[in-house]
C-alpha cells in the first residue's frame, strides 16, 4: 500500500467498483515499474521503441485518426449554476452530467488494468504545488504523466495521510468513439472525467484539465492565478536574471519563446536565456509583495512540426532521449522520427502519422503531410539544455513582466505596453488569435481568446477578469508590467514580416528595459510603443528601421473594427463584465477618436 490516506483509498475503491478492472496497479514512480510498463506497451503494439542508439529511451505512439487534438465542443465545466461556467464554456448540471457519464464508465475496464497515478503539479515540497490522482486504463497515459508531472509515492507523501485536497481524475479510453467523447470538469467536486479519447490534452489530466481549468477555479477562491503561460528568465552579463511570463494561445509560440537562443549581439555580451516553463504558470503573491511563478509541470508536451536545428535547437535536443513522440512520421531506414519543418528531406522509406508506408518526398510533393500538424513530443524538462537552475525551486521565480500575444496577420503591432495593470487586464481580455491545429476544428479563423484561456478557464470569464483586477489591486506598485506582442504580422503576400524565434529576444529586451525604467516609449491610442530605433535590429538581414515602423503601425480603422467585435464579445458576459472593463473599452474608443 502506497498510502494510508483514507480519502484517496476510498475514492480509488469507488473507481474500481465503477469501472470493474481485472487488476489495479498503483504507480510508485520506480524506474523498474515504468520500464516493465514500457515493455508491456511495446508487446501489445500500443507503443514502439525508436532507434535506441540515436534516441535512447525514446518511444513512439500513434493515436486513433479521429483523436488528434483537444476537443473544445466536447469539453464541459459542470458547476452547479450555469452562470458559474459562463458564456465561453459548455455546461451541464453536475447531476445531468453524472447521469450521462456513470453508465458509460460502468464496467468500462472489464478485463483491463486500472493504473492509479498519484502526481504532484509543481515541485515536491512547494507550498504552491498541488496533488492529483489519475486513474486510467492507458499505459501511454501513465508514461506521459511520468514525464509531465512528478508521479508516485513522493506525491502521496506530499499529500499526507489526512488531506482531502487532491484532484480526482478518471480516464478511460473506452471505444475512442468521438461521438461519445467527453472531457468534463466538476470544479466544485475537485474532479475530472475523460472518456473515449487517447490524445494528450484530453487525457493527461494533470495538464489542461487540472493545472488550468480546475486550478483557475481554485486560484480564484484561494487568491492566486493559474495561467496558460510560459516562464523564462533572461540573465544579463552581470549575472542578474529577470523573469517574464507570456500567454499565447495554443501553438502560437510559447515553447519556442521559452527556449529561445539569444541572437549573436546579445550572446556575445553574455546574455543567457533560461526556461522555467513552456505552457502553464501558477502565480502567487510572495511575502515580498511581488508576483512569483512556478511551472506546475515537469516536462514539455510540445508541437513537433516546425521544430528544427535553427528555429528551436533547445527543444530538438530536449527530445533526444526519454521522449515519447506522438503522431509524427517514422523514417523506416533508421527507425527515427520526422516531421514537416524538421529539415528539407522527408524520408523516402517513411510511415506517415496514420500508419501507411509511403515514399516521403512523393507524398509531400502531392500536398500531404507526413506528420500530423498537431503531432507532439513529450520530453523531460531536465533534458533541456537551457532549463533554469530555478526549475525545481519551491519558491518559484519573481515575475517582472507579463506578455500577451497571438497570431494576428494585421491589427496587433509587434509590441506595446499597457498603461497600467487594469489596462493590461483589458489588453489580455481583448486578445484575438487565429485558431491552430491544437484543437479540433477549422484552422486560421480569428477568434477572441482572452489571456489565451478561452478553452481553459474553469469558471465564468467575467469573474476571471475581476480576479485579474483584484490581483492587480493586491500587488499594487509591485505588479509586473503588462505587454502585448505579435510575431505573426504578414505582408501582402502573406509572409511573416518579423523573423521571430530567437530574434524575439530583441523585443523582450525592450520589455525588460521598460520594466527597469531604462527605455523611452511613444504613447499611442492602444498603449505605449517603442521608438522604432529602440528595437535593436543589428545583425538582422531583411529588417530595417522602416520594417519596424511598419510593424509598429496602429491602423485606426482596423482598431475601430476590432472595437465593434470586442463590444459584441463583451455583451455575452452581461452583468458579469466588470465595470472597469467597460470603462477601459470606452477609453480606447475615445482615444481612437
Residues that bind ligand GTP (CB under 6 A): 248, 250-256, 278-279, 302-303, 305-306, 311, 438, 487-488, 496, 500-501, 504
Q: Which residue has the cell 519556442?
A: 256
CA–CA separation, 560 and 555 (whole Å): 9
Contact 195, 435 (CB under 8 A): no
Least distance to ligand SPV, CB of residue 255, Å: 9
Contact 42, 49 (CB under 8 A): yes
Least distance to ligand GTP, CB of residue 73, Å: 18
Cα–Cα distances (Å) from 445 to 67, 72, 88, 479, 584, in that order, read 21, 15, 17, 33, 26
Among 200, 233, 263, 458, binds ligand SPV (CB under 6 A): 200
Least distance to ligand GTP, CB of residue 311, Å: 5
Interacting span for ligand SPV (CB under 6 A) from 28-36, 149-157, 200-208, 324-332: 200-208
Site for ligand SPV contains 70 (CB under 6 A): yes
Least distance to ligand GTP, CB of residue 498, Å: 7
CA–CA separation, 283 and 552 (whole Å): 30
Position with the least CB separation from ligand SPV: 201
Least distance to ligand GTP, CB of residue 438, Å: 4
Cα–Cα distances (Å) from 105 to 19, 142, 153, 197, 340, in that order, read 6, 19, 27, 13, 38
Position with the least CB separation from ligand GTP: 500
Question: Which listed option, ligand SPV, Mn ion, ligand GTP, none, makes contact with residue 487 (CB within 5 to 8 Å by class)?
Answer: ligand GTP
- Among 428, 467, 461, smallest CA distance to 572 is for 461
CA–CA separation, 5 and 499 (whole Å): 53
Question: What residues form DSSP beta bridges with 482?
Answer: 402
Contact 300, 279 (CB under 8 A): yes
Site for ligand SPV contains 449 (CB under 6 A): no
Phi, psi for 14 (deg, rounded to 5): -65, -40
Least distance to ligand GTP, CB of residue 507, Å: 10
- Among 384, 2, 11, smallest CA distance to 191 is for 11
515 is catalytic: no
Site for ligand SPV contains 181 (CB under 6 A): no
- Among 252, 251, 235, smallest CA distance to 243 is for 235
Identity of the residue, 248 or 465, whose beta carbon is nearer to ligand SPV in the bound complex: 248
CA–CA separation, 2 and 287 (whole Å): 35
The residues in 238-267 that bind ligand SPV, with binding defined as CB under 6 A, are 250
Contact 71, 250 (CB under 8 A): no
CA–CA separation, 388 and 61 (whole Å): 29
Among 208, 213, 372, 448, binds ligand SPV (CB under 6 A): 208
Among 21, 122, 132, 201, binds ligand SPV (CB under 6 A): 201
Question: Which listed option, ligand GTP, Mn ion, ligand SPV, none, makes contact with residue 311 (CB within 5 to 8 Å by class)?
Answer: ligand GTP
The residues in 284-323 that bind ligand SPV, with binding defined as CB under 6 A, are 301
Least distance to ligand SPV, CB of residue 433, Å: 12
Candidate list 19, 193, 252, 384, residue with the active-site label: 252
Site for ligand SPV contains 562 (CB under 6 A): no
Interacting span for ligand SPV (CB under 6 A) from 21-29, 201-209, 418-426, 546-554: 201-209
Question: Which listed option, Mn ion, ligand GTP, ligand SPV, none, makes contact with residue 255 (CB within 5 to 8 Å by class)?
Answer: ligand GTP
Sign of the four-CA dihedral 85, 90, 91, 94: negative
Contact 166, 8 (CB under 8 A): yes
List of residues contacting ligand SPV (CB under 6 A) = 70, 200-201, 207-208, 250, 279, 301, 438
Catalytic residue set = 252
Amino acid at each position: 500500500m502506497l498510502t494510508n490516506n483514507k480519502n484517496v483509498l476510498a475514492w480509488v475503491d469507488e473507481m474500481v467498483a465503477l469501472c470493474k478492472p481485472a487488476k489495479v496497479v498503483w504507480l510508485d514512480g520506480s524506474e523498474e515499474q515504468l520500464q516493465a510498463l514500457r515493455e508491456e506497451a511495446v508487446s501489445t503494439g500500443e507503443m514502439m521503441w525508436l532507434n535506441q542508439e540515436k534516441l535512447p529511451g525514446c518511444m513512439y505512439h500513434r493515436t486513433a485518426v479521429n483523436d488528434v487534438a483537444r476537443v473544445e465542443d466536447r469539453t464541459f465545466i459542470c458547476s452547479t449554476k450555469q452562470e458559474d461556467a459562463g458564456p465561453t464554456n459548455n455546461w451541464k448540471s453536475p447531476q445531468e452530467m453524472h447521469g450521462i457519464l456513470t453508465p458509460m464508465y460502468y464496467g468500462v475496464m472489464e478485463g483491463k488494468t486500472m493504473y492509479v497515478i498519484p502526481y504532484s503539479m509543481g515541485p515536491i515540497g512547494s507550498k504552491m504545488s498541488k496533488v492529483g490522482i489519475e486513474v486510467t486504463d492507458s499505459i501511454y497515459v501513465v508514461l506521459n504523466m511520468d514525464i509531465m508531472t512528478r508521479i508516485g509515492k513522493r506525491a502521496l507523501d506530499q499529500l499526507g495521510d489526512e488531506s482531502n485536497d487532491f484532484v480526482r481524475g478518471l480516464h478511460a479510453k473506452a471505444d475512442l468513439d468521438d461521438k461519445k467523447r467527453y472531457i468534463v470538469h466538476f470544479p466544485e467536486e475537485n474532479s475530472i472525467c475523460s472518456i473515449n479519447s487517447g490524445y494528450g490534452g484530453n487525457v493527461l489530466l494533470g495538464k489542461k484539465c487540472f493545472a488550468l481549468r480546475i486550478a483557475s477555479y481554485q486560484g480564484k477562491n484561494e487568491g492566486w492565478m493559474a495561467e496558460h503561460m510560459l516562464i523564462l528568465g533572461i540573465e544579463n552579463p552581470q549575472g542578474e536574471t529577470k523573469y517574464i511570463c507570456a500567454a499565447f494561445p495554443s501553438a502560437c509560440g510559447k515553447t519556442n519563446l521559452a527556449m529561445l537562443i539569444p541572437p549573436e549581439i546579445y550572446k556575445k555580451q553574455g546574455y543567457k536565456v533560461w526556461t522555467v516553463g513552456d505552457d502553464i504558470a501558477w502565480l502567487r503573491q510572495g511575502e515580498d509583495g511581488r508576483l512569483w511563478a512556478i511551472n506546475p509541470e515537469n516536462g514539455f508536451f510540445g508541437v513537433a512540426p516546425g521544430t528544427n536545428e535553427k528555429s528551436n535547437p533547445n527543444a530538438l535536443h530536449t527530445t533526444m532521449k526519454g521522449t515519447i513522440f506522438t503522431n509524427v512520421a517514422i523514417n523506416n531506414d533508421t527507425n527515427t522520427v520526422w516531421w514537416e519543418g524538421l529539415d528539407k528531406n522527408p524520408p523516402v522509406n517513411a510511415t506517415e502519422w496514420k500508419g501507411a508506408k509511403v515514399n516521403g518526398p512523393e507524398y509531400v510533393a502531392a500536398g500531404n503531410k507526413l506528420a500530423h500538424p498537431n503531432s507532439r513530443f513529450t520530453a523531460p524538462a531536465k533534458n533541456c539544455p537551457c532549463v533554469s537552475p530555478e526549475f525545481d525551486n519551491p519558491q518559484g521565480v519573481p515575475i517582472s513582466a507579463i506578455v500577451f500575444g497571438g497570431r494576428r496577420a494585421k491589427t496587433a503591432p509587434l509590441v506595446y505596453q499597457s498603461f497600467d495593470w487594469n489596462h493590461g487586464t483589458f489588453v489580455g481580455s481583448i486578445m484575438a488569435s487565429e485558431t491552430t491545429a491544437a484543437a479540433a476544428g477549422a484552422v486560421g479563423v480569428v477568434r477572441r481568446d482572452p489571456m489565451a484561456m478561452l478553452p481553459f478557464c474553469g469558471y465564468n470569464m467575467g469573474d476571471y477578469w475581476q480576479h485579474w483586477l483584484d490581483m492587480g489591486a493586491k500587488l499594487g506598485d509591485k505588479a509586473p508590467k503588462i505587454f502585448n506582442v505579435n510575431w505573426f504580422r504578414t505582408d501582402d503576400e502573406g509572409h511573416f514580416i518579423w523573423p521571430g524565434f530567437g530574434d524575439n529576444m530583441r523585443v523582450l529586451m525592450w520589455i525588460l528595459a521598460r520594466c527597469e525604467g531604462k527605455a523611452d516609449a511613444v504613447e499611442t491610442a492602444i498603449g505605449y510603443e517603442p521608438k522604432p530605433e529602440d528595437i535593436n535590429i543589428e545583425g538582422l538581414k531583411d529588417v530595417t528601421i522602416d520594417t519596424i515602423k511598419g510593424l509598429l503601425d496602429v491602423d485606426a480603422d482596423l482598431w475601430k473594427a476590432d472595437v465593434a467585435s470586442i463590444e459584441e464579445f463583451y455583451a455575452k458576459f452581461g452583468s458579469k463584465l466588470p465595470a472597469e472593463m467597460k470603462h477601459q473599452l470606452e477609453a480606447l474608443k475615445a482615444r481612437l477618436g
